[in-house]
Structure 1
Amino acid sequence: MSDARLGVLKTYKLYIGGKFPRSESGRVYEVTTSKGEWLANAPQSSRKDARDAVVAARKAFSGWSGATAYNRGQVLYRVAEMLEGRKDQFVREVADAEGLGKSRAAAVVDAAIDRWVWYAGWTDKIAQVVGGGNPVAGPFFNLSSPEPTGVVAVLAPQESSFLGLVSVVAPVIATGNTAVVVSSESAPLPALSLAEVLATSDVPGGVVNVLSGRTAEIAPTLAAHQDVNAIDLTGADPALAKDLETAAADNLKRVLRAGPHDWSQTPGTKRLTAFLETKTVWHPTGSLGVGGSAY
């Protein structure tokens, strides 16, 4: 009996609504290493796939945004636990995608997992930073609190297949939004593997939806979609970003503009606050009459 065997090649799929469909169009495209060596066939998403992902994200929004911030933090931390357990796989995928040596790729993956933990810790703290009581001239309490924007389309960085990906996805869902993520076009495999981690953690289906394919084909559908509330243009080149901003203006989407990023730096709270709305409530102070109480 021969010791030789054929390896089992992995079939990568999209992640929409907690399920793993192939592209609606049936298309795939070749993913190669930085040296041009074949790695896998990734699904090439269609405009229909993008619309399906938006439907799934909208369906999941009420449950996810309605969860307590503490609970969201627990769920995000569980994702970090699962990433830690599959670290070797991500090291291989990042090394192949970005042309890094094993030790450098391992450092990038460690940083990405730490970044996920960092955002998990912010879920129940961001309201204290950006919310609060406002002084007013009258017998009222005036309180401001942050609320999630809604469905956010995220164009993941093209050059940072995992650390950059985590840095743009985690803050969106940490604050109660749901996401439709377009992975790096040339290096989608870490994003598609992240989807497998999300599916086996406690993140409800539809909270994060992952599409791979041609960014210039998928992104215009998301930018023009009336049920998408915001878009992160990080993964778009300047010409595409300009067109997407124009399309996004049709329903007054929030837009996070593209720009150079050093993903290794501590991110701060910019991305946590980028897709938050502020709700302000007025409440009378003092006696409310018979049976009333002071607040």
Structure 2
Amino acid sequence: MADPATTPDQATAPVPARLPVHKTYKLYVGGAFPRSESGRSIPVTSADGDHLAHAALASRKDARDAVVAAREAFGPWAARTAYNRGQILYRIAEMMEGRREHFVQETVDARGITRARARELVSAAIDRWVYYAGWTDKIAQVLGTGNPVSGPYDNNSAPEPTGVVAVLAPRDAPLLGLVSVLAPVIAAGNTAVVVASERAPLPALVLAEALATSDLPGGVVNILTGRTAELAPTLAAHAGINAIDLAGAGDLATELEATAAATLTRVLRPDPSPDWAALPGLTRITPFLETKTVWQTAGR
């Protein structure tokens, strides 16, 4: 029955067409979502060329700000117990599970694949967080050791996080590849500055929203969107970066490795044919660990 306050013509009139409200995604730095200091943004399109949203176009100043945030977060994050870090990584998986369909849609748009295949990739990305959550309190057991020495001493070696790690996310695996390179970095107690896939940044930005609603402290993960060629050299040369993962460096890899050498930054070279679906074990954790050896008098 028509609303008595309306006329018959009003009750049957077609609903006016409306323009969709496209989202403008921001950066994720220090646990907040700032705009780029430059005020720039870029349109993001699907694999089919359809407009999806706008994303912030990060500047070199934004990259330096992200390093500062990661450096401030490193001490408290590394000081947490490994068990607590595992709880937080598991919480991230829970947050992603609650946003599953959003991740599926972004994966479909980014890669132009079927929804069934996208669901497989999203499930694998969620499971990857759970996988590394289980590793956090086992790293020291596997990689630490008591060393036999001559004399009345105890000599023990234990792994410790390297510090702030710059991560260039894989270009063609914007969600599963990203999680596969990011999760091991923070599982080991490091903090990260991530440059999202330039071609398909939206899965990384939806992940940022999941991180912000998890228990992850601000600054542990910082996500930048924009041009890899603009941001990566700044991170490679930054004295506040302790290591860099070149997974998404592409043709820039050799140049970035040479740049990083000037500040003695540890470099993880890109795998020419990565299988992001494979379980990597400790292979992506050990490059971002240091080994601390402690001597003390036996019996103390």
- Matched residues in 1 for 2:151 and 2:265: separation? 35
- Matched residues in 2 for 1:253 and 1:278: separation? 16
Pairs aligned (count): 286
Name the residue aligned to 1:225: 238
Name the residue aligned to 2:3: none
Do structure 1's residue 245 and structure 2's residue 265 form an aligned pair? no
Q: Aligned AA for 1:247?
A: T
| Shift in Å, 1:9 | 2.1
Do structure 1's residue 11 and structure 2's residue 24 form an aligned pair? yes
Q: SS where residue 147 of structure 1 aligns?
A: strand
Q: 2:270 aligns with which of 246, 258, 264?
A: 258
Query: Could you say what the CA RMSD is over the residues aligned between the two structures, in angstroms?
Result: 1.0
1:24-71 Cα shifts (integer Å, max 9, x gaps): 111111211112121111111100000000000001011100111011
Q: SS where residue 137 of structure 1 aligns?
A: coil
Do structure 1's residue 100 and structure 2's residue 113 form an aligned pair? yes
Name the residue aligned to 1:278: 291
Q: SS where residue 279 of structure 2 aligns?
A: coil
Q: Report matched runs for 1:135-214 at 5 Å.
A: 135-214=148-227
Instruction: Give every structure 1 segment of 4 or more consecutive aligned residues whose post-TM-superposition deviation is greater than 6 Å.
Output: none
Name the residue aligned to 1:114: 127
Do structure 1's residue 24 and structure 2's residue 45 form an aligned pair? no
- Matched residues in 2 for 1:235 and 1:116: separation? 20
Do structure 1's residue 70 and structure 2's residue 90 form an aligned pair? no
Alignment TM-score, normalising by the size of structure 1: 0.95
Q: SS where residue 219 of structure 2 aligns?
A: coil
- Matched residues in 1 for 2:99 and 2:191: separation? 24
Q: Aligned AA for 2:249?
A: A
Name the residue aligned to 2:48: 35
Alignment TM-score, normalising by the size of structure 2: 0.93
Q: Is contact 2:74-2:220 (8 Å) kept?
A: yes
Name the residue aligned to 2:7: none
Q: Aligned AA for 1:90?
A: F
| Shift in Å, 1:158 | 0.2
**Unmatched 5+ residue regions in structure 1?**
286-293
| Shift in Å, 1:7 | 3.1
| Shift in Å, 1:6 | 3.7
**Unmatched 5+ residue regions in structure 2?**
1-12
1:106-137 Cα shifts (integer Å, max 9, x gaps): 00000000011000111100110110101112
1:182-225 Cα shifts (integer Å, max 9, x gaps): 00000000001111111111101000000000001000000000
Q: Aligned AA for 2:267?
A: V
- Matched residues in 1 for 2:90 and 2:14: separation? 45
- Matched residues in 2 for 1:268 and 1:69: separation? 17
Q: Is contact 2:77-2:189 (8 Å) kept?
A: yes
- Matched residues in 1 for 2:71 and 2:152: separation? 39
- Matched residues in 2 for 1:248 and 1:281: separation? 29
Q: Aligned AA for 1:249?
A: A
- Matched residues in 2 for 1:155 and 1:161: separation? 11
Q: Aligned AA for 1:134?
A: N
- Matched residues in 2 for 1:8 and 1:44: separation? 20
- Matched residues in 1 for 2:20 and 2:197: separation? 26
Do structure 1's residue 83 and structure 2's residue 96 form an aligned pair? yes
- Matched residues in 1 for 2:274 and 2:152: separation? 46
Q: Is contact 2:22-2:54 (8 Å) kept?
A: no
Q: SS where residue 154 of structure 1 aligns?
A: strand
Q: Aligned AA for 1:122?
A: W
CA 192–103 in structure 1, closer or farther in 2 if over 3 Å, else same: same
Q: 2:140 aligns with which of 124, 127, 138?
A: 127
Q: Aligned AA for 2:256?
A: L
